[in-house]
A and B are shown apart, each in its own frame.
Chain A
Amino acid sequence: AQSVAQPEDQVNVAEGNPLTVKCTYSVSGNPYLFWYVQYPNRGLQFLLKYITGDNLVKGSYGFEAEFNKSQTSFHLKKPSALVSDSALYFCAVRDINTDKLIFGTGTRLQVFP
Chain B
Amino acid sequence: NAGVTQTPKFQVLKTGQSMTLQCAQDMNHEYMSWYRQDPGMGLRLIHYSVGAGITDQGEVPNGYNVSRSTTEDFPLRLLSAAPSQTSVYFCASSGQNYEQYFGPGTRLTVT
Interface residues of A (CB under 8 A from B): 6, 9, 32, 34, 36, 42-46, 49, 51, 90, 94, 98-106
Neighbour of A100 across the interface among B45, B99, B103, CB < 8 A: B45
Chain B contacts of A46 at CB under 8 A? 99-101
Residues of B within 8 A of A44 (CB): 43, 90, 92, 100, 102
Bound state CA distance, A99 and B90, in angstroms? 18
Contact sample, A vs B, 13 pairs, CB 8 Å cutoff: A34-B98, A34-B100, A36-B100, A36-B102, A42-B104, A43-B104, A44-B90, A99-B31, A99-B48, A99-B50, A101-B48, A102-B59, A103-B43
Q: Hey, which chain A residues are within 8 Å of B92, CB to CB?
A: 44
Residues of A within 8 A of B50 (CB): 99
- Per the CB 8 Å criterion, the residue count for chain B at the interface is 26
Name the residue of chain B whose CB is nearest to the CB of A91: B42
The A-contacting residues of B in range 70-108, CB under 8 angstroms, are: 90, 92, 94, 98-105
Residues of B participating in the A interface, judged by any CB pair closer than 8 Å: 4, 31, 33, 35, 40-45, 48, 50, 56, 58-59, 90, 92, 94, 98-105
- Give 15 A-B pairs besides A43-B90, A43-B102, A103-B45 with Cβ atoms closer than 8 angstroms: A6-B42, A9-B40, A34-B98, A43-B4, A44-B102, A46-B100, A49-B99, A94-B98, A99-B56, A100-B56, A101-B33, A101-B94, A102-B45, A103-B35, A104-B42
